Each structure stands twice: as structure tokens, then as C-alpha cells.
Amino acid sequence: MLAALVLILMVGGGGYLIVERYFQDVTDLALKHKMTHEFHSLAAPIPAELIASDRDWSLVRQEAAPLAPRPQRGIPLTQEQVANMMQDAYPQRQLTRIKLDEKRNRLIYEIYFVDQSEIYIDAYTGKILKPDEIEQPTTTITPIPEATAYDAELAAIFVLPLDAKGRVLFNPNQTSSPLTPHIEALQIALSQGSDLRTITTPDGHHVRLFTYKLTRDDGPVALQLGRVLTDQEHVLNQLLMVMLSLSGVSVVLLGVGSWWIAGRALGPAQQAWERQQSFIANASHELRTPLTLIRASTEVALRTAPSNDDDQRDLLEDVLSEADHMRRLVDDLLTLSRLDSGRLKLEQVPVDLVELLGDVQRQMNRVSQELAIQIRLGDVAGFVLADPDRLRQVLLILLDNALRHSAADTAITLSAQPHGHQVQIHVTDQGSGIAPEHLPHIFDRFYRADAARGVSGNAGLGLPIAKGLIEAQRGKLHVTSQLKVGTTVTITLQTARPLVQ
């Protein structure tokens, strides 16, 4: 599942990066292609780098015509030459401004005088043009086949002819420029020849900016071309949303598929487990009846046996003891089966620990006195929310374990103290203790550390049952032990308010 999710993210992220890289490469190539045509329009020598980019553009855009050779018309007049011509032709009129502009594929100079009159001349021939001639396309210049080359990328590019101070000399764009000249890029282009970067406008838009130093001594010193990336970012955002949606759908499908496959794979194991639990429960129920009959028959035989026949009486007592042992084992298996299936009925009520621990002490004292072991009460206080019968069963299991692992003339202490919203019940003995390597396994079913502790006769189900019963009542069971010092078992249960009589 995790590997599939990582694969989806890698494929989706890789696709997004590829598209983003494609947009950047096409934009850069379009800027260089456009720069080539601007050089061509200004009759400036075209650098080899731009010629190669123009050729690459033609390969990428099959419908775009490569740069056509410009008709040989010579080099346009400089502003100084135009000023000298005007002073010679109109010595009585004072010039105010000379502007180089391109109209209808025609490069012209606009000359303005103090008396607010103006003259238009051809930038190549110096011929004075009438206003109606300006609007007519020239018949001597073969139009550059740029109409098919300028697709969406080229149409979105704006051009800024700049002087050395970063001022725009004229506006060749059909609309106003979306940003002012970038001075830092201009300075780097003047020192290094060119500059390509992405900038952010004050209104938050990203612009890919290409600045190139002009290879002519007159006119603009550099050209700054830019393309606003808003449309590309919009496409990338849409692509990202689509990829996220597909990833989400894929994750859901993978999750459902994994759940279905896991269900198919675990189904037989679950059924086998349920059959096993059902068998244990049924077998435990079925064994109870014959065990009861065996015990009853043995008791009758023991009462009627001759008092002087010691061998027969000993044999019957052994049968009675083993019947009791088998009955306890069957009860333990039935309890574990109910715990595993969640069918164990619990009636949790407030339990007075002073009363309960006192009853358990008196009940177990009969057994402990025969072993010369004392069971005493420590500090006991508090009420817990628990099933009193099941809690008593847990305490009897813990005391039975403590008695079997304690030596004569030692003591076992029962205590209970509230701690905030919980009450901790402690069963502490002075027995042989449990080795550290056995502690992690003492709650495993049928696990027996008795061989290391010198005790036998334990089926290994007592502590697993005690732990299961406490956890079923939303409590915890914890054991600490030290060899040759003793063991402390701590039961933690939720505190409860006493019942109002």
C-alpha cells in the first residue's frame, strides 16, 4: 500500500516537473527566437547563439518559418545623421526630438520641431514621407514570413528597446508593456552580453525576462523581451489539481483493493480461529458433566470405602484431586475462550476494596496457614469500578501464584491506594522472584517459568486469565520482580463512587 502510494506520488510529481520544464524550455526558446527577429528588424548583426536558437525553434514548431534573409537595403541612418540632414534642409527650424519607429513593416524616423510640426523620413533612404505613405506597406521590401512563426508563445512576448540608462526609446508593442525595464538585468546584459531570469512584478505575476546587448553602435543599446507566465501557471495549477484528484482516487481504490485482498487472505484464518474458539467452548462445556459425575462418584466411593483400607482411600483421594484439577483447567479454558470472543459477561459496579480484600484474605488464610505463610492486609482504601466476582477471581489467582512460590515463614501483603482517578491494588510476596528473561513471557498462555523457580503443577493459564479479566474491565496488570527478593503484581482500575445505601 505504502509502496503503491509512493509510486503514484513519484509518477505524478515527475509528470508535473516534466510539463513545468517543457513550458520553461519553450518560453526560453520563443524569447530567443523573438530576439533574433528583433535583431533582424534593426539590421543588427545576429549572434551565433541566437541563430542556433532560431533554428531550434523552427524544428520545435514545424509550422514556424525559419528566419528569412532580409533584403539588402543597407544600414539604417543614425539619429545623428538624421539631425544633420534636418539642419541642412531646415536651418531656420529647431529640432526638439527624433524618434525611431516601425510602422507597417517600415522603419521610419519621426522628427519633431519647436513649432510643433513634424516630418517623417524613411530610416534607410532618408526620403521624406507623406502621412498617407506611412500607412501604406512598402513595395520594395519582401515581408518577413513571421505571421506563421508568431504563435501563442510569440504573441505573448513584449519588447522593450532600452538605452544605457534603462529608458524605453520607443514602444513597438501593440499594447502597453506590463512592466517597467529591469535595470539589474540590463546592467548584467551590458557587461556579460545577455541575461535570462524569472522576475516577480509588484502585483505578484511571474515574468520570464530575456535581455540582450545590441550589436549596433547606434539606436538602442539593449533589447529586453519578456513573457508573463500567468497562463502557464494556470495550466500547471490545473494539472496539479487533476494529478491530486487522480492520486486521491488511486489511493482510495488501492485502499479498497487492499482491504478486499486482505479480507480474502485472512478470511480462512479468521474462520479457523472462530472454529477453534467454538471447539474449546463446546469441549469445555461437554467436559464439565463427566468431570462432575467422576467427582461425585469418587466422593461416594470414598465415603463407603473401609476405613482400614489405606491404599484404596489414597487412590480415591488422588482421583478426586485430579478431577478437581481437570475441572479448574476446563474452567480456565472456557474463560479464555470467552475473553477471546468478547462474550464474557461483566457486571461492573462500585466495589469496596476494604471489604473485598478482607474477604479474600480470610478465604486464603486457611490454605496459607498450612504452608506457614502469612497473608496480611496493608493500607487498603478506595472503591473501584469492576465486576466483584471476576476481580475476586484475579486476586485468588495472584495469591495462589504467590503461595506456590513463597517459602515458609514469609508473608504476602495485600494493599490498595487511590491515585487520582485510579486505584492501584498490590499483591506483594517474599518468594523466589522471577528471572528477568522470564518476565516478558509470563502472560503468554501455557508459558511456565516454574522449572527455573523449582515449582511444578502449574498449567500456565493463571496469569493470562488474570490479565485478560483486568483488561476486559479497562484496567492494567503489571508485574515487577527481583530474584530471591520477591514479586509485586499491581492491578490498576478506575476509581468509583461508593453506592448509596
pLDDT in tens, 49-106: 888 887 777 776 654 444 444 444 456 777 777 888 888 777 888 888 888 777 766 7
pLDDT higher at 113 or 412: 412
Q: What is the pTM of this model?
A: 0.47
Distances from the Cα of 193 to the Cα of 57, 222, 268, angstroms: 21, 9, 75
pLDDT at 391 over 70: yes
Taking the CA atoms of residue 67, residue 53, residue 159 and residue 46 in that order, the dihedral angle to the nearest 10 degrees is -60
Average confidence (pLDDT) over 137-155: 48
Measured between alpha carbons, how far is 340 from 347 in angstroms, rounded to an integer?
18
pLDDT at 211 over 80: yes
Measured between alpha carbons, how far is 249 from 16 in angstroms, rounded to an integer?
18
pLDDT at 4 over 70: no
Contact 426, 490 (CB under 8 A): yes
What region, left, alpha or beta, does residue 67 occupy, with left being phi > 0 and alpha being psi -120 to 50 degrees?
A: beta
Give the number of other Cβ atoms within 10 Å of residue 198's Cβ.
13
For the chain, the structural domain boundaries read 264-341, 349-494
Measured between alpha carbons, how far is 60 from 289 in angstroms, rounded to an integer?
91
Q: What is the pLDDT of residue 459?
A: 64
Class of domain 264-341: mainly alpha
Domain spanning 349-494, CATH architecture:
2-Layer Sandwich (3.30)
pLDDT in tens, 332-385: 777 877 787 777 888 899 999 999 999 999 989 888 988 999 999 999 999 999
Exposure string of 84-114, with b = 16+ CB inside 10 Å and e = fewer, is ebbeeeeeeeeeeebebbeeeebbbbbbeee
Give the number of other Cβ atoms within 10 Å of residue 495's Cβ.
15
Q: Which three cell numbers stand for residue 42?
A: 534593426
Q: Name the helix (H) or strand (E) containing 242.
A: helix 230-304
| pLDDT > 70: percent of the chain | 85
Three-class DSSP labels, 352-418: EHHHHHHHHHHHHHHHHHHCCCEEEEEEECCEEEECHHHHHHHHHHHHHHHHHCCCCCCEEEEEEEE
pLDDT at 328 over 80: no
Contact 177, 207 (CB under 8 A): no
Average confidence (pLDDT) over 2-18: 74
Measured between alpha carbons, how far is 19 from 235 in angstroms, rounded to an integer?
10
Average confidence (pLDDT) over 261-275: 75
The amino acid at 240 = L
